[in-house]
Each structure stands twice: as structure tokens, then as C-alpha cells.
């Protein structure tokens, strides 16, 4: 079993709020803390053994390093589950110079059993304009925190942006955490924390990454959609007579950031 001491090897730096006026949060058990070597971030379980995070977090995976995913309000004091990360993949269109398609997946060495995993928002992000949101991550204080905001602006359907006047909503370490909206009483993952630019925080809408997510997690839960099971082939009566026993079921950033502006960006 992986030792908690590996998690504690993360260098603790800074004293800024991860999320302004945030609080220790227990409403998002599928949001966890990631350690990839000496780097850290956040991530969201979308399946028992798959974590959705930011590409600039996922790309830090290297087989020779300590790579962990931790569930718990405070991973340094009350970790509920610590598992290894065996591999990662980043969105094929991710380009660090543009901040677009900042999505990655982490694959765990064993499943984490929860009563539920994150449900994803499948529609265009414009449908979220004006909605109240909560941002959840582990930055700054290294504890799972949530802070309130509202979806104020979206540029060209690409980036959800949130202002928090005088202070960005997210801090380093929140990268890969989630922006959640309440839809009919259900917390739905609308976007992944990506970058900071001045007082603005930017998030990648998960609907942008649907084909990427479905490629690796075909049973990911998308809001308003049932998980469709593969069709089961029903044998002809003559075939049934030939089967001696059983049967086989076939399961078979409010703005576009130009590269010249990149000097003003901080990785979340």
C-alpha cells in the first residue's frame, strides 16, 4: 500500500487562499488531490479508476516518479484513499501556448469505490451564462475547498471565465479541479480549472472534450443522458439448442490569450 509519506513529500509553498473565502468541503467526494512527482494539482473522478484533470497537470506524469491520487477533505491529515497513477493522456489538441483544450486523464492502478462519480455537462457553455457556480480544488491551502462565483463570460465557446475582483478565483494547485453548477439539485461538472490571467480565472468547458473523454471512458455520465449498454445479440432458437449451458453476453479566459500575452498567465 502506498504510504501517506509520499504525499507529504510535496513542497508546501505560499499562503494564499486557494479559493477566496472558501471552506473545507465535503460535498464533492469525487474531487481529489494529485501528486505527480514534485508537482501537485486537483482532479475529478469520472469513473472508478479514471480522473479528469488539466492537460498541464496530466503531462507531468512520469513512470519513474511518485504519482498519486488522493481522496479526502485534507489529504495531509485525513486522507480517505491513496492510489497510484499508472499512466496519463492529454487532449490531442492541447497547446500550452493557447490555453485551449487543457484536458487530461489520469488512469489509476486500482478503482476507488464511491456512491457516485462526477456527472458532466454535455451542452454548449453558453447555456451556463448567468448561472451560479462553485469552484472546487486543493490549491494554496492543500485542502479541498469550494468557493461561489457566477458564469459571467465565455469567449467564442472556448473558455468559461470568472472574475473575482482583486483576486483570481483559483490559485496554483487548483488546476484540474472542477467548476460545478447546480442543475435540478444535482452538482454537474461544467468545466475544468485551467489558467489565471490577472483577476480572471479560466476554465475549459468539458463539452469541448466530449469525444476525447468518451474515447477513454465510454461509460462517463453526461447529464440528462442514460448510459447506453451495448446491444445483446439474441441467438436463434436453433442456436439455443446447441448451447449446453449458459450464454455469452457481448458487452462489448473571457478572452483569447495570444502567445504574446502568455507572460501574463499563471498556471492554475
Q: Is the pLDDT of residue 22 over 90?
A: no
Give me 46's grid cell. Answer: 469520472
The residues, any chain, with a CB within 8 Å of residue 112's CB and separated by 6 or more, are 45, 48, 49, 69, 71, 81, 83
158 against 267, higher pLDDT: 158
Cα 149 to its chain centre, rounded Å, is: 18
The whole-number pLDDT of residue 85 equals 97
Q: Is residue 159 very low, low, confident or very high in pLDDT (cuts 50, 70, 90)?
A: confident
Q: Is the pLDDT of residue 234 over 70?
A: no
In CATH, what is the architecture of 4-15+28-117? Answer: Beta Barrel (2.40)
b/e code 218-244 from CB counts within 10 Å (16+ = b): eebbbbeeeeeeeeeeeeeeeeeeeee
Task: Compute the chain's Rg from CA coordinates.
Answer: 20
Question: For the chain, what are the domain ranges?
Answer: 4-15+28-117
| Mean pLDDT of the 116-125 span | 93
Q: Is the pLDDT of residue 207 over 50?
A: yes
- Mean pLDDT in the chain? 76
Dist CA 66 CA 21 (whole Å): 32
Q: Is the pLDDT of residue 188 over 50?
A: yes
Strand partners, 217: none
Please identify which residue in the block is written with the cell numbers 485534507: 74
What is the pTM assigned to this prediction? 0.77
Task: Sort 96 into a burial class: Cβ within 10 Å, 0-12 / 13-18 / 19+.
Answer: middle
Dist CA 69 CA 55 (whole Å): 15
The whole-number pLDDT of residue 31 equals 95
Task: Sort 155 into a burial class: Cβ within 10 Å, 0-12 / 13-18 / 19+.
Answer: middle
CA dihedral 256, 170, 122, 183 (to 10 degrees): -130
Cα 234 to its chain centre, rounded Å, is: 39
| Mean pLDDT of the 89-109 span | 93
Dist CA 61 CA 38 (whole Å): 10
Q: How far apart are the first and last CA of the chain?
A: 30
pLDDT in tens, 47-62: 999 999 999 999 999 9
Dist CA 216 CA 214 (whole Å): 5
Amino acid at each position: 500500500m502506498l504510504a501517506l509519506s509520499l504525499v507529504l513529500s510535496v513542497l508546501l509553498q505560499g499562503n494564499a487562499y486557494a479559493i477566496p473565502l472558501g471552506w473545507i468541503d465535503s460535498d464533492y467526494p469525487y474531487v481529489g488531490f494529485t501528486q505527480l512527482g514534485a508537482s501537485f494539482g486537483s482532479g475529478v473522478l469520472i469513473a472508478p479508476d479514471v480522473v479528469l484533470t488539466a492537460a498541464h497537470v496530466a503531462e507531468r506524469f512520469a513512470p519513474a516518479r511518485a504519482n498519486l491520487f488522493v481522496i479526502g477533505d485534507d489529504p495531509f491529515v485525513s486522507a480517505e484513499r491513496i492510489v497510484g497513477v499508472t499512466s496519463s493522456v492529454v487532449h490531442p489538441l492541447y497547446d500550452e501556448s493557447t490555453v485551449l483544450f487543457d484536458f487530461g486523464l489520469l488512469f489509476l492502478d486500482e478503482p476507488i469505490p464511491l456512491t457516485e462519480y462526477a456527472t458532466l455537462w454535455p451542452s454548449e457553455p453558453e447555456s451556463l451564462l448567468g448561472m451560479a457556480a462553485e469552484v472546487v480544488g486543493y490549491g494554496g491551502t492543500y485542502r479541498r475547498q469550494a468557493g461561489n462565483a457566477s458564469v459571467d463570460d465565455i469567449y467564442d465557446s472556448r473558455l468559461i471565465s470568472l472574475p473575482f475582483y482583486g483576486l483570481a478565483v483559483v490559485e496554483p494547485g487548483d488546476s484540474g479541479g472542477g467548476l460545478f453548477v447546480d442543475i435540478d439539485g444535482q452538482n454537474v461538472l461544467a468545466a475544468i480549472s485551467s489558467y489565471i490571467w490577472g483577476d480572471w480565472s479560466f476554465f475549459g468547458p468539458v463539452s469541448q472534450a466530449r469525444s476525447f473523454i468518451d474515447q477513454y471512458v465510454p461509460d462517463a455520465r453526461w447529464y440528462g443522458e442514460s448510459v447506453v449498454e451495448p446491444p445483446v445479440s439474441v441467438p436463434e432458437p436453433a442456436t439455443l439448442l446447441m448451447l449446453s449451458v449458459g450464454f455469452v453476453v457481448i458487452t462489448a479566459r473571457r478572452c483569447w490569450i495570444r502567445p504574446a500575452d502568455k507572460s501574463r498567465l499563471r498556471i492554475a
